[in-house]
Amino acid sequence: MAVKFVRPKRVRLARDNWNIQLDEQGRLRHLVDVQGLPPQLITQILDTAESFVSVTDRSIKKVPLLRGRTVFNLFFEPSTRTRTTFELAEKRLSADVMNLNVATSATTKGESLLDTLRNLEAMQADLFVVRHADSGAAHFIASQVAPHISVVNAGDGRYAHPTQALLDLFTIRHFKQDFTRLRVAIVGDVLHSRVARSQIHALNSVNTGEVRVVAPPTLLPAAVERMGVHVYPDLESGIRDADVIIMLRLQKERMRGALLPSEGEYFQRFGLTPERLALARPDAIVMHPGPVNRGVEIASAVADGPQSVILDQVSFGIAVRMAVLSMCLNRGESQ
């Protein structure tokens, strides 16, 4: 892919997010990151998603909320699960869906990202779902689009993946209800994971009892404790008495240098096996944002076991993305 996004120095992401994401009435306009979202708005997203879960059980899996609206999926980075669930969510809301094939788009022929956006705006776009390899890309696009257009971040670099964090919250709430009593352990490659960053902010926003990160030192961000987490250097202590275990994949495509001896040794130290899972609470649930690398971060017996809710995450992801899309374009109107 030839196009390269460079975030302007003047954009201060964390501080400016609440400005750009909400309209003048405090309703959701863009979703760039969960950081900066008011807790009551996060709860509203989860409650709205609850109303969409039943749509999947209908013979006709559609509601007319976005009829006549046009959504462009702009995926500048490969994706299967996220792109598919967004597209299903859009179609179930009756939107007109356009998928931009970036590999053959004008950006590979020298057209700037902003020129591409202006051309799509001229096609009467209402919302852009953006996935990009560079951190801050979704924020930059949201700051540049016309006032009537919304932007939803489907993952940008190592910065954020807000809808994944929200669907994880939804899954946890579905099975555990009360966040304030929970111990949640996030295990694996926290350093390179935009999912982990968004999960930590989301969990702290809803006052989760304890948020843990479990990883070797080479896979932890500097001063990660400042994000409001407790750090555990070994898996056994990190998941002991945990109510929720969220496993992360090793993001080898983002690693630079030898951060790990080998995948085999990583599994021996940090792989979730049935024996290690027994250290958590008996009713603990196991989650994974996918794709799952069996035998690297998690054993098949756990991924397919009775405590796994990985497939529930995928199903709930459609409802959560329906909620976000409908709230952005209908400014919080419900079904």
Q: What is the pLDDT of residue 103?
A: 56
Tens-digit pLDDT string for the chain (335 aa): 334 434 333 334 444 555 799 999 999 999 999 998 999 999 999 999 999 999 988 888 999 999 999 999 999 888 889 999 999 999 999 999 999 866 555 555 556 788 888 999 999 999 999 999 899 999 999 999 999 999 999 999 889 999 999 999 999 999 999 999 999 999 999 999 999 999 999 999 999 999 999 999 999 999 999 999 999 999 999 999 999 999 999 875 544 444 566 788 899 999 999 999 999 999 999 999 999 999 999 999 999 999 999 999 999 999 999 999 999 998 645 44
**Chain CA centroid to CA 157, Å:** 12
Contact between 251 and 266 (Cβ < 8 Å): no
Q: List, in sequence order, the alpha helices (H) in 177-308.
A: 194-205, 235-239, 263-270, 274-277, 300-303
Q: Are the folds of 13-160+316-330 and 162-314 the same?
A: yes
The Cα 52–Cα 210 span in angstroms is: 29
Burial of 9 (0-12, 13-18, 19+ CB in 10 A): exposed
The Cα 210–Cα 215 span in angstroms is: 16
Contacts of 241 (CB under 8 A, 6+ apart): 183, 279, 280, 281
Judge: domain 162-314, CATH 2.30.30.100: no
Global confidence as pTM: 0.90
CATH annotation of 13-160+316-330: 3.40.50.1370
Bridging pattern class, strands 210-214 and 230-232: parallel
Which residue from 220, 164, 232 is spatially nearest to 191, judged by alpha carbons?
220
Contact between 32 and 153 (Cβ < 8 Å): yes
What is the amino acid identity at position 39?
A: P
Residue ranges of the domains in the chain? 13-160+316-330, 162-314
Q: What is the pLDDT of residue 108?
A: 55
**Chain CA centroid to CA 132, Å:** 13
- Grouping H, G, I as helix, E, B as strand and the rest as coil, residue 137 is helix
Beta bridge partners, 71, equal 97, 127
Instruction: Classify residue 82 as left (phi > 0), alpha (psi -120 to 50) or beta.
Output: alpha
